[in-house]
Chains A and B, each alone.
Chain A
Amino acid sequence: MRTLIVASSLIAIPLLAAASRPMWSAPANAAAVLAQPAAEGELTLDPVHSMALFRIQHLEAGQFWGRINALSGSVAWPMDDSAAPTIKAVAELKNIDTGSEKLDNNLKGPNFFNEREFPSISFTSTGGTRVTERHWTLTGDLSLHGVTKPVMVDCVVTGVGKGPTGKKVGFECQVTIKRSEFGMTWGIEKPPKALGDEVRLVIGLEADETKAE
């Protein structure tokens, strides 16, 4: 009997190892859809110069800032500012960057973003109202942590310049959300007051006329 058990245990080791094969093959995500070549007149986001900064209160004390690099997507905006920009932006959570790899991993984990199940955050604007010249309040849908909610984003056209391949347009957008509304509750009450509920997002976008390859 004991021999049988010992033998079975030895068989269990490779089985457990097989069961624990790497599971992090990246699932298909929205970025692939949104990073398609831009239509005529559309601007394509330059991932190198597009990022989202997020701010959250830590232990009821400091405001902690992190960023998500390499945003992708597209912007449609008439250069004469005759209409609100239409923005489709995707932030891949694998590009989260807080300056600490450990903290990055913690944020990607299931207590926060759950990157394995919800690999990206996306914003798609659906309309906008003018505030002043080149300053718009955009309405749109923000998808985060598997939940999509309408939000209002303050968006400023920061400038129109010229790059080596054509015109470049800069945008700076800001929005404050309550993460609990998106099902991200860890650290608000349990554990108590570890992290705030309100998250301020500042999104810097740079889009150019050149079509994506």
Chain B
Amino acid sequence: MLPEVALYLVKVLVLPALLGLAVGGFGVLMVARRAEADRALAVRRAQVGQALAAPVAFVASFLLEVGPVGLPPAERWHVLPYAVGVAALVGAVVSRMRSAWWVQWSIVGLILGGLAWKFVVFPASNPYIQTGLFGSIVLVGLLWSAVARDACSVGMAMMAAIVFAGLGVLMILANFASLGVMAMAVAAALAGFGMVSGVLNLRELARLRAAASSQPVAVGADPAGAACPAEAACELVPWTAAAATTLAAIACVLAMCGHAYNYGEVRPMHWAAILLSPFFALLVCKPCLRGAKPIVGVAWRAGLCLVVVLTTVINAASRGGSEDGAAAGSTSSDPMADMLKESK
């Protein structure tokens, strides 16, 4: 049984994550390989890849798990690959635009919010719920755009990975294992993308420091600080507001889907808390991080986000209890959980 389960997880989780990582990471790698003066175009291309990484991982995982779906879909949640595909397209196009962050956020937020309001309709929805979905996409998009501006690219990717992993766990708790696995694939792609970006950013930082140390130093100046005054200063490919809003929109739609089909003890506030967990990254005192190693900022922001997500997930899991599983003498009601347990 173990090889088959492992093969399944490789197929629906690892492969899509690697595909998403390849789409996102390739651009950053190309930027790192270019000379500093020759990077502008490569950065914009990499930002398109950045917007596509998570959607590619999700759609690949969906297709490998569920298979191709018709139009109109046989089940309402099968609209997800189409919705995420459109989100990717809009995010990628707007990422290439040379416009202010708030313009990117408003374009992507309004388009994706509007499309979700009209076309992403889960069971027992009503106009209030659809309006709430629209508002959530716009406002969570604003929050995530702000976080993307405030934190470095690695921190943003890690926070997004934590959010999607949290959503994945909530989906499994809501008895929607297949969507949970897809959310995990997105989380893995974003975490991988964050790590690749981090390694390349650190190399860039080392290069800048080496270059700075070879220059004559003015009296009173700090060579390392001058080369990289803050955690985000040395990043190769900063997140665009369009990519951040696209990610937020996908997260909102997945959370709404998980809630619409919730057969567990997951409460609305659990989904909301996880979507808004990057908010706490904004509370990190930016001036306090000046001069600190880049990893300190990432650790603080991602750490705060992780604490919120973990607390939420533990609370949701504890609500379910194990009363009837124990009564029935079974260890788990979830076939997938059973198999994973067996394979250990």
Residues of A within 8 A of B (CB): 1-2, 5-6, 8-9, 11-13, 15-21, 23-25, 27, 58-59, 99-103, 105-106, 108-111, 114-117, 146, 183, 186-187, 190-195
Contacts and interface: CB of A to CB of B under 8 A. Distances in A.
Interface string B2-17: 0011011001100000
B243 interface: no
A192 B7 contact: yes
B335 A183 contact: no
B4 A192 contact: yes
Contact of B146 (A5, A99, A100): A5
Contact of A100 (B12, B264, B325): B325
B53 interface: no
A1 to B, nearest CB: 8
Q: Is the interface of B mostly helix, strand, loop or mixed?
A: helix
Residue of A12, A183, A186 contacting most chain B CB atoms (<10 Å) = A12
A-B complex: 6 closest residue pairs judged by Cβ atoms: A19-B132, A20-B268, A102-B333, A12-B139, A105-B263, A16-B272
Contacts of B8: 190-192
Contacts of B218: none
Interface stretch (B20-28, B69-77, B155-163): B69-77
Contacts of A5: 142-143, 146, 282
Nearest to A12: B139
B42 interface: no
Contact of B335 (A58, A101, A114): A58
Contacts of B75: 110, 114, 117, 146
Contacts of A99: 328
Interface in B92-130: 122-125, 128-129
Residue of B1, B8, B263, B272 contacting most chain A CB atoms (<10 Å) = B263
A186 B11 CA distance: 15
A54 to B, nearest CB: 15
B324 A100 contact: yes
Contacts of B334: 102, 106
Interface residues of B, number: 62
Interface of B: 1, 4-5, 7-8, 11-12, 64-65, 74-77, 122-125, 128-129, 131-133, 135-136, 139-140, 142-143, 146, 174-179, 256, 259-261, 263-264, 268-269, 271-272, 275-276, 279, 282, 320, 324-325, 327-328, 330, 333-336, 338-339, 342
Contacts, number: 166
Contact of A110 (B135, B176, B320): B176
A27 to B, nearest CB: 7
A183 B74 contact: yes
A18 B271 CA distance: 12
A20 B259 contact: yes
Given A16-B132, A191-B335, A191-B336, A109 B276 contact: no
A111 B1 CA distance: 21
Contacts of A103: 328, 330, 333
A21 B259 CA distance: 9
A17 B272 contact: yes
Nearest to B332: A102
A6 B174 CA distance: 30
A6 to B, nearest CB: 7
Contacts of A15: 132, 135-136, 139
A2 B201 CA distance: 26
Nearest to A114: B75
A187 B335 contact: yes
A106 B261 CA distance: 11
